[in-house]
Amino acid sequence: MHNVRKWTKKIEGYWRLIEPVWEQIDIYSCADAFLQNYRAVRRGAGLVYAAHFAQYEICNGGFPQFFSNSTGVLAPEAKEGFQEIGMDKTAEIVSTAMALLGKSYPR
């Protein structure tokens, strides 16, 4: 039971961090709108938000889904988010996938 409580507290902390920015960051309009909204939120919350969406999309439909959906706009931030939470190998994989799309990541 102790492990369940510990896990639940981690999940609650995770959502407390990203829930306030969930509606603030616009990934659906255009890259400029995303960047403007993203820069207005706390850095840590934005990075976890980006890593969350990347993880969800990649696990659900792979990199084709991540890059072809509106979530692809936040790939550079997702890479940085993975680095910040100690998932360096995942950040490296995201970086490699981004590089396949060109020298400069297209938003």
User: Does 19 reside within a domain?
Assistant: yes
Residue 1 has pLDDT above 90, yes or no: no
Q: Is there a domain that residue 24 lies in?
A: yes
| Beta carbons within 8 Å of 10's beta carbon, 6+ residues apart | none
Does residue 104 sit within a domain?
Answer: no
Domain around 91: 2-99
pLDDT tens for 39-72 read 999 999 999 999 999 999 999 999 999 999 999 9
Residue-level pLDDT at 2: 60
User: Residue 45: inside a domain, yes or no?
Assistant: yes
Predicted structure pTM score = 0.85
Q: What is the mean predicted confidence (pLDDT) over 11-27?
A: 86
Q: Which residues contact 105 (CB under 8 A, 6 or more apart)?
A: 75, 76, 98
What's the number of domains the chain is made of? 1
Mean pLDDT of the chain: 90
